[in-house]
Amino acid sequence: MSAGRLRFVVGRLAQVLPVLAALLLIVVLLQQMMPGDPARVIAGPRATAEQVVQVRHELGLDRPVFEQFGRHVWNLLQGDLGTSNRTGIPITAIVGDRIGVTVWLLFGGLLVSTLLATPAALLMALRPRSRSARMCSRALTIIINCPPFWVGLMLASVLALGTGWLPVGGFGVDFGDRVRSMILPSLTIGLAAMPLLARSAAASLSQVLTADHVTTARSLGVSGWPLVRRHLLRNALPPAITLLAIQAAALLFGAVIVEQTFGLPGLGAEMITAASQRDFPVVQALTLIFGLAIIAINLLADLAVALLDPRTTWR
């Protein structure tokens, strides 16, 4: 690894620390900012004022914020996400049950959007004036204006109700059922993320296409697939990866909505349930997990870009 790259990796890793600290702080402060009093929720509607104070003391909610922060971090470091207010179940168990659904959903969405966006981007970049490229561009404009839950409902009514091949909602028990129950939600998320990805990849590709160094390569007789592989994709990939990472947050948000729409027992659906029931520890833990996921995705993307671009150095 070159010195420039090494500096980049070290610098980029160091950058994660303050972001992590900020995330933790926000998660702890969330409790302060959310409407409603967790102590009152736990004590129940018929509790007296003294009982509420008592609960608040037991939970440590009357301690200074920085002390709560320290305790929270300490618990996290020991792998303790706390327990649900409502059910008393350890949150690690809840997450363990549900994280698989969300991960597969995101993976499916990413797969769908990449499979759809790549040919669209190549078409729009390499044959910008063709009829099919213009139709493709118009289709993207239409899709980008459709709200994901609506797309989900349309897909459900056309593909699932219309044919009876796919479940409209819920999560089956055996493996086959589960795979089939992921298809429509993945399509929904993938379709929602696809237009922006296709547009930006096309922009990045067509920029590389007219870049001076591509003209040089062509002047040396490089053409066809070798030109695309050796000179176009290598240079267009890093911006596309960065863009994908920036979209990670939107994708996660999409997952929350789509899990709810299709009744999938994932982290997103749990988040909505927990928020509506004022189950603060669960909301906190899930916010933390979503935040960590976004930080990790961006870190991985930046490292991948560094690996692809030899000019990388830490600035």
Partner 1 sequence: MTSHPLLEVDGLRVAIRRQDTAPTVLDGVSFAVGASQCLGIVGESGCGKSLTLRAVMGLLPPGIERTGGRIRLSLQPGAAPSDVQADQVAGRGLAMVFQDSHASLDPTMRVGTFIAETVRRRGGTSRSDARRRAVELLASVGVPDPKLRFNAYPHELSGGMRQRVAIALALATDPRVLLCDEPTTALDVTLQAQILRLLDTARAERGLGMVFVSHDIAVIRQIADVVAVMYAGQIIEIGPVSDVLDRPRHPYARALIDAVPSLDGPVGPFRSVPGSPPAPIDYGSACRFLDRCGHRDTACEGVVNGIDGRGAGHRSACVHSGTLASGLEAT
Nearest-approach distance from CB 311 to partner 1, in angstroms = 5
Q: For residue 278, what are its two tokens?
A: 């004022």
- Phi-psi bin for 262: left (phi > 0), alpha (psi -120 to 50), beta? alpha
Length of the chain, in residues: 315
Which residue, 46 or 129, has its beta carbon nearer to partner 1?
Answer: 129
CB atoms closer than 10 angstroms to residue 227? 16
* Identity of the residue, 46 or 131, whose beta carbon is nearer to partner 1 in the bound complex: 131
**Quick one: DSSP state of residue 61?**
T
Least distance to partner 1, CB of residue 2, Å = 9
Q: Shortest Cβ distance from residue 237 to partner 1 (Å)?
A: 9
Residue (11 or 310) nearer to partner 1, CB: 310
Partners of 90 in the β-ladder: 83
Kindly state the smallest distance separating residue 140's Cβ from partner 1, in Å: 21
Taking the least distance from each CB to partner 1, the nearer of 72 and 231 is 231
Tally of CB atoms within 10 A around 72: 21
| C-beta closer to partner 1: residue 137 or 287 | 137
Q: What are 9's two structure tokens? A: 């990796």
**Contact residues for partner 1 (CB under 8 A)?**
210-222, 230-231, 234-235, 308-311
Rounded to the nearest 10 degrees, the angle between the axes of helix 91-126 and helix 131-144 is 150
Q: Compute the least distance from the CB of residue 221 to partner 1, in Å.
A: 2
Give me Rg for the CA atoms of the chain.
Answer: 24
